[in-house]
Amino acid sequence: MPCFSGEYKPAWGNPPSLSRPRTGRYPRRAALCGGSATRAGKELLKHTVSYDEGLLKALKDSEEARAYLEVALDECEASGEIDGLLLALRDVAQAQGGISALAERSGLNREHLYRVLSSRSKPKIDNLMAIVSALGFRLRLDFAEL
């Protein structure tokens, strides 16, 4: 998962590596309050979701997806590496119906789309434009700050 340094604050919280684990946080407190550490941990698990689930749920919103892709594009521009952008496009595609649905909307072969969105490839501009368009967005040029 790329580490974004922009001002964007995701609605789904910090990535798992940046937040404390939610299960078993206070096992002694649970035991002191008449419960057990295991029961307290199971109770906490009922009220938590995985990072991926929360991300995909948030990315169903088009404004959230747009902001996510903008940050990924900014990071791609700053670092010169496209892996983070491809991962972000893959996340948005999964949230908005999956790769198969994206393949139908974009007119690209599903297997080819998996290859294009993998970190092993450098997609051509026509494939990138088709993917972005099928997700409901378009690329625009803006003046760079020199």
- Tell me the one-letter amino acid at 13: G
Q: What's the count of helices (H) and strands (E) in the chain, helices before strands?
A: 8, 0
pLDDT tens track for 114-143: 999 987 878 899 999 999 999 999 988 888
pLDDT digits (tens, 9 = 90+) for 46-102: 667 788 889 999 999 999 999 999 999 999 989 988 999 999 999 999 999 999 999
In contact, 99 and 110? CB cutoff 8 Å: yes
